[in-house]
Amino acid sequence: MTKMLKFLFKNKINVELSIKQYKLNLRNPFGTAHSVTTTRTNALIEIKVEDIRGFGECGLPPKKPLCYLADYNDIETYFNSWIKEIDEKQKQQQQQQEESYHYDAFNKISQKEYFKELRKEMNGDYQQSVYQFLFECLDNCKENSKDYSYASRCAIEMALLDGWGKFLKQPIYKLINIPESESLKPFYYTISMCPTMEEIMDSTDFGSKYTGFLKIKLDADVEKGMNIIDSVQKRLLNNNSTRTISKISVDANSSWTPSVARKYLEKLSPMADLISMVEQPFPIETLKTVNKDQKIDIQHLNEWVSIKKEYQDKGLLIFADESICTEKDLDGLVQLVHGVNIKLEKTGGIRPGLSTLLKAKELGLKTWIGSMVASSLNVSAAAHLLCSLSDFGGDLDGGLLIDDATQLFENDAFQLLDNGLIKMNSNNYGVGVTLKK
């Protein structure tokens, strides 16, 4: 059911806010080391300012402690709190009867060149001031202390920037004020742990039509994992495919023990030139605990510190995924990883995502942009950071993982070139997608 709020900003600008479920059917079962799903229920936010419609989406995987913290009901709870904040702020403004309005929604980003134009006072431009107003209510929402608030803020912020960009006729990466990188970044397609090898091969056939950069999900079963990698390689050779594998990312989804990591190292090191990274081999609990009174196992931590060096010595890089949510996690991860996979739902949106990327680079960590299982709306938003600030590209394949019938949007923010590299569409405004007719 759609929930909605309508109001008049400064007695001049019509605003409508709404949230609804965004149900997605997957092309194949999407399996990781900790879950298998065939459908997803994401949250879809719409913010309409006069006749300009901005959209935002957050991907909602099955909940996992310390990592995936929100479901649709949580997002709806947050949305209701946000509109309550808006209602209260509106009443305050009506009492004060102030004509001008200004709020710098980007003041937490220390580098002032980012979002430079959106920081300014709008001098009576109410159609832009309303976005600043909605950002202020978002930043002051009483639910921001809750762990599920990050995914909620991501979707709302996305809708705000989508609408603001459409109003200014600018794509989000130009709003951010980041130049498009001269070197194009790779697009990875995820081959998940489907229940059968036939489904894994079907996924391989589908993904390899778009890119030679493949992300392969593995669990702690080394023999099975290496069989999947071998089968994927043979599939492309035996099909006489014009597509060759450019790089493979191995994603363990926090399922390995130190012993398993060393067994995989023996098998993976001969193909180190082919492997771009190994994602999240270590458990999330290596650096975090569910119970705040519980202490980190230092011996276990030190073993993973050693494994980082062992992998590095064999030419393999380890990246964090589940263990990196916000920039606060980065300092502790430096000892364990060479890079981080940053996702908007976990950071809280594009603004904190940008801050996390910048801090990661300051710490000498490599960067990669990931996405949840979501539509082209969500992955296109992430592409605006990937185009310039990701070292290794990313797995922005969410729109390919779901079937066309449940996609509400078309015309992605980026083009996928024949070699599997991403090129931004500079003529697509806001996030860069359009609602299907």
Domains and CATH numbers, the chain: 3-169 (3.30.390.10), 185-435 (3.20.20.120)
395 classed as catalytic: yes
Out of 217, 308, 346, 366, the active site residue is 217
Q: Are 45 and 56 in contact (CB under 8 A)?
A: yes
Binding residue per annotation — 279?
A: yes
pLDDT in tens, the chain (437 residues): 677 899 999 889 999 999 999 999 998 888 787 778 999 999 999 999 999 999 999 999 999 889 999 999 999 999 999 999 999 998 887 777 666 688 999 999 988 899 999 998 887 788 899 999 999 999 999 999 999 999 999 999 999 999 999 999 999 999 999 887 788 999 999 999 988 999 999 999 999 999 999 999 999 999 999 999 999 999 988 776 667 889 999 999 999 999 999 999 999 999 999 999 999 999 999 999 888 788 999 999 999 999 999 999 999 999 999 999 999 999 999 999 999 999 999 999 999 999 999 999 999 999 999 999 999 999 999 999 998 899 999 999 988 999 999 999 998 899 999 889 999 988 899 999 999 98
Output DSSP code: residue 286.
G
Binding residue per annotation — 87?
A: no
Which residues are paired to 6 by β-bridges?
Answer: 16
Residue 99 pLDDT: 64
Q: Phi and psi at residue 56, in whole multiples of 5°?
A: -140, 145
Between CA 290 and CA 284 the distance in angstroms is 10
Between CA 132 and CA 424 the distance in angstroms is 26
User: H-type helices in 390-432, by residue range?
Assistant: 398-401
Out of 74, 162, 329, 395, the active site residue is 395
In angstroms, what CA-CA distances link 156 with 20, 57, 159?
A: 12, 8, 5
217 classed as catalytic: yes
- With CA atoms as reference, report the closest residue to 414 among 394, 401, 403, 406: 394
Residue 242 pLDDT: 63
In angstroms, what CA-CA distances link 125 with 9, 105, 175?
A: 12, 16, 17
* Cα torsion angle, 306, 309, 311, 314, sign: negative
In angstroms, what CA-CA distances link 272 with 110, 161, 252, 253, 276?
A: 38, 40, 16, 20, 8
Residue 91 pLDDT: 87
Binding residue per annotation — 329?
A: no
Between CA 384 and CA 246 the distance in angstroms is 23
Residue 244 pLDDT: 81
Residue 373 pLDDT: 94
> Could you give the angle at the alpha carbon of 272 between the alpha carbons of 270 and 278, nearest 5°?
120
